[in-house]
Amino acid sequence: MARVECGYAHPDEETVSLEAIFHALSDPYRLRIVRTLAASAVPMNCGDLSFGRPKSSMSHHFRILRASGVLHTASHGVEHMNSLRREMLDRRFPGLMAAVLGEIGHATTTEASARPLTPA
């Protein structure tokens, strides 16, 4: 189920899935939005997060991030303010956002790619 707030649908915590989050974060622009929001102490408007991309493209990216449960958007007058749903994501999937945002130790890309893949 999703709740509608300021005209935007945001999924309830219990319906947020890893598959939707991974899909949302698989795009480099969406990942950049998430990392920028994580580094910000305050919600940011859509224009501050567009990185020079067309408005129609960014609307699509914001919609995917909202639908996955990663992003919360609220209308304040004519501005749409976006924030990361970090507390909810940390409760639902502990450690996931820390890993995505590089807040925990991890192997470098070269080290990780040099390791052979082994079946589980």
pLDDT tens series, the chain, 120 aa: 555 555 677 889 999 999 999 999 999 999 999 999 999 989 998 888 888 787 778 889 999 999 999 999 998 888 889 999 999 999 999 999 999 998 865 444 444 444 444 454
Please state the domain extents for the chain: 4-100
In one letter, which amino acid is 19? E
Q: The whole model's pTM is what? A: 0.77
Query: Which CATH class, in words, describes the domain spanning 4-100?
Result: mainly alpha
Say if CB 2 and CB 10 are below 8 A apart: yes
